[in-house]
């Protein structure tokens, strides 16, 4: 008698993605009246301001798709070419080492020479990796890790800094800046989902013949972004000198304990997100069933999009909270969620729910931190502060990858528990920042 073995492959309910889509649409449609009064595109005071916001979001979307394609597709590329686990660990270590020892200072370089030139570097690095992949078929792990870690660091601080500087130059209301913060988080998540769709469509069912197609797409997008940044982006020349920059940085960043609290919160957030994206796949397959990870990915990003749309409701709507207070609650929720995952909870349905809650909070926290940076950090020091703030996270990730990947001295659950402790400490930092009160260095905002 024949025996039929049924494959037990779990996949999320398609209605979950539909729920996030409808919820995001409703949240945006019913924006609070104070936010609606400064609508992103409808009531801008000048045509130059409208052109800037539209072109900025287009360039940011393009950059997000490039980041997503060479991140997600890059892992697929390594697996397709039979790269061993040890080599992948080395790749991650090289990337975090580059981000720590080189990326930490890119923000300061951006402040000194301007965001435009650093954005050109971002486009050139993506173009270089994509062309190299297209020509050789498979670049060295070290080369790809070094370049992509630098692009990720630039992506983190440079576009936000550029956007705030331009809003300052165009003398726009603070409401417009806040709207752009949550829109950037929303667009980034949507673009990452789009990059997955584009990558799957380009690869199709013929890996051997179309494996290089995503690299070709990145080449086209990088050239387009490069053309816009080099010709369509007008930037005032920087007049600050290194010695003057060092003095201001020490006065307004190093000597300000409020900025230290804000930096530590950003570092713990960066660390917890990095831990999630490294451990989420092995954590979710510990259930014992096969899981279609490609369907889980858009669910968590959809939750992040929904969380970003909630920013306006908590910052200026009927649920209005002080930004520091909102971050206290969000970090505590994220800490508890991460703690549950750290206890090796293996039911895949519960894990997906926890992942979505975590990313909904991420979508709320990221624009909130950006808003606080606008309150406490001068524009001409913003890039340096942001790149320096994630240095502790990169250093800790490098240490944990070495301990876990080469010596097996630490378990994934312990790393996730460390992320939970960091999030609880971030909640404490935001509570202390609330107690210290708001005394910003800048008063350029038109409230």
Structure tokens at 57: 């979001």
Are residues 253 and 213 part of one domain?
no
Are residues 328 and 197 part of one domain?
no
Residue 438 above 60 pLDDT?
no
Are residues 300 and 390 part of one domain?
yes
214 found inside a domain: yes
**Residues 446, 171: contact at Cβ < 8 Å?**
yes
396 found inside a domain: yes
Confidence of residue 3 (pLDDT cuts 50, 70, 90): very low
Are residues 221 and 273 part of one domain?
no
391: left (phi over 0), alpha (psi -120 to 50) or beta: alpha
253 found inside a domain: yes
Residues 335, 395, 301, 305, CA torsion sign: positive
405 found inside a domain: yes
* CA contacts within 13 A on the Cβ side of 258: 19
Per-residue pLDDT at 126: 93
Task: Name the domain count of the chain.
Answer: 2
Question: How far, in Å, CA of 402 to CA of 417, rounded?
Answer: 18
Are residues 338 and 216 part of one domain?
no
1 found inside a domain: no
Are residues 223 and 305 part of one domain?
no
Q: What is the CATH number of the domain that holds 127?
A: 1.20.1250
Cβ-count burial of 216 within 10 angstroms (0-12 exposed, 13-18 middle, 19+ buried)?
Answer: middle
Segment of 75-89, 185-199, 214-228, 252-266 carrying the highest mean pLDDT: 252-266
Residues 210, 212, 215, 219, CA torsion sign: negative
Domain boundary among the residues 235, 263, 283 is at: 235
447 found inside a domain: no
Domain boundary among the residues 200, 235, 270 is at: 235
Are residues 432 and 300 part of one domain?
yes
**Residues 179, 35: contact at Cβ < 8 Å?**
yes
Per-residue pLDDT at 44: 44
Cα 25 vs. chain centroid, distance in angstroms? 22
What are the backbone angles phi and psi of residue 139, rounded to the nearest 5°?
-75, 165
24 found inside a domain: no
8 found inside a domain: no
* CA contacts within 13 A on the Cβ side of 81: 17
For 363-420, the pLDDT digits (tens) are 999 999 999 999 999 999 999 999 999 999 999 999 999 999 888 889 889 999 999 9
Residue 6 above 80 pLDDT?
no
Three-class secondary structure assignment of the chain: CCCCCCCCEECCCHHHHHHHHHHHHHHHHCCCHHHHCCCCCCCCCCHHHHHHHHHHHHHHHHHHHHHHHHHHHHHHHHHHCCCCHHHHHHHHHHHHHHHHHCHHHHHHHHHHHCHHHHHHHHHHHHHHHHHHHHHHCCCCHHHHHHHHHHHHHHHHHHHHHHHHHHHHHCCCEHHHHHHHHHHHHHHHHHHHHHHHHHHHHHHCCCHHHHCCHHHHHHHHHHHHHHHHHHHHCCCCCCCCCHHHHHHHHHHHHHCCHHHHHHHHHHHHHHHHHHHHHHHHHHHHHHHCCEECHHHHHHHHHHHHHHHHHCHHHHHCCCCCCCHHHHHHHHHHHHHHHHHHHHCCCCCHHHHHHHHHHHHHHHHHHHHHHHHHHHHHCCHHHHHHHHHHHCHHHHHHHHHHHHHHHCCCCCCHHHHHHHHHHHHHHHHHHHHHHHHHCCCCCCCCCEC
Per-residue pLDDT at 204: 65
Are residues 128 and 205 part of one domain?
yes
Domain boundary among the residues 184, 216, 235 is at: 235
Q: Rg (Cα) of the chain, in Å, rounded?
A: 22
Residue 39 above 70 pLDDT?
no
Q: 221-232 burial by CB neighbour count: b if 16+ within 10 A, else e?
A: bbeebbebbeee
288: left (phi over 0), alpha (psi -120 to 50) or beta: left
Task: Report the range of poorest mean pLDDT among 203-207, 337-341, 345-349.
Answer: 203-207
Are residues 264 and 227 part of one domain?
no
Question: How far, in Å, CA of 8 to CA of 289, rounded?
Answer: 6
Are residues 176 and 245 part of one domain?
no
Cross-strand bridge partners of residue 10: 291
Are residues 267 and 209 part of one domain?
no
Segment of 3-12, 62-71, 95-104, 223-232 carrying the highest mean pLDDT: 95-104
Pairing of strands 290-291, 9-10: parallel
Structure tokens at 315: 């910052």
Question: How far, in Å, CA of 254 to CA of 271, rounded?
Answer: 21
Mean pLDDT of the chain: 84
Residue whose tokens read 């201001």: 248
Are residues 156 and 117 part of one domain?
yes
**Domain extent for 386:** 240-442
**Residues 153, 99: contact at Cβ < 8 Å?**
yes
Q: What is the CATH number of the domain that holds 416?
A: 1.20.1250.20
Task: Report the range of poorest mean pLDDT among 211-225, 272-286, 404-418.
Answer: 211-225
* N-term to C-term CA, the chain: 78
Widest CA span of the chain, in angstroms?
84
Per-residue pLDDT at 212: 57
Count Cβ atoms below 10 Å from residue 105 Cβ, excluding itself: 14
């Amino acid at each position: 008698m024949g025996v039929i073995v049924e494959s037990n492959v779990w996949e999320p309910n398609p209605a979950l993605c539909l729920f996030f889509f409808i919820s995001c649409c409703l949240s945006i449609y019913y924006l609070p009246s104070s936010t609606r009064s400064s609508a992103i595109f409808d009531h801008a005071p000048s045509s130059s301001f409208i052109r800037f916001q539209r072109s900025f979001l287009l360039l940011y979307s393009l950059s997000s798709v490039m980041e997503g394609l060479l991140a997600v597709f890059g892992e697929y590329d390594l697996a397709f070419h039979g790269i061993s686990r040890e080599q992948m660990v080395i790749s991650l270590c090289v990337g975090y080492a580059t981000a720590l020892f080189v990326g930490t200072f890119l923000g300061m370089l951006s402040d000194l020479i301007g965001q435009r030139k650093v954005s050109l570097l971002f486009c050139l690095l993506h173009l270089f990796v994509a062309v190299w992949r297209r020509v050789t078929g498979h670049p060295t792990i070290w080369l790809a890790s070094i370049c992509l870690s630098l692009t990720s660091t630039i992506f983190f601080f440079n576009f936000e800094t550029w956007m705030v500087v331009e809003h300052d130059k165009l003398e726009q209301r603070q409401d417009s800046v806040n709207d752009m913060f949550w829109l950037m988080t929303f667009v980034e998540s949507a673009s990452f989902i789009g990059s997955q769709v584009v990558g799957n469509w380009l690869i199709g069912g013929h890996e051997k013949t179309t494996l290089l197609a995503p690299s070709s797409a990145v080449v086209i997008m990088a050239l387009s972004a490069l053309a816009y940044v080099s010709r369509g982006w007008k930037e005032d020349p920087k007049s600050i000198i290194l010695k003057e920059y060092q003095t201001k940085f020490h006065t307004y960043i190093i000597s300000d304990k409020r900025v230290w609290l804000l930096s530590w919160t950003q570092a713990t957030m960066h660390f917890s997100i990095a831990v999630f994206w490294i451990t989420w796949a092995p954590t979710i397959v510990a259930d014992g069933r096969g899981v279609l990870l490609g369907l889980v990915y858009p669910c968590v990003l959809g939750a992040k999009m929904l969380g970003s749309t909630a920013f306006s409701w908590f910052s200026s709507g009927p649920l209005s909270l002080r930004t520091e207070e909102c971050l206290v609650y969000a970090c505590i929720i994220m800490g508890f969620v991460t703690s549950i995952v750290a206890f090796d909870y293996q039911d895949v349905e519960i894990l997906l729910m926890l992942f979505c809650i975590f990313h909904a909070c991420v979508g709320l926290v990221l624009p909130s931190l950006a808003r606080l940076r606008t309150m406490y950090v001068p524009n001409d020091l913003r890039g340096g502060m942001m790149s320096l703030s994630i240095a502790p996270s990169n250093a800790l990730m490098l240490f944990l990858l070495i301990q876990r990947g080469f010596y097996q001295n630490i378990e994934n659950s312990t790393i996730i528990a460390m992320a939970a402790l960091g999030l609880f400490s971030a909640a404490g930092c935001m509570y202390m920042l609330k107690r210290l009160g708001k005394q910003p260095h800048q008063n350029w905002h038109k409230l």
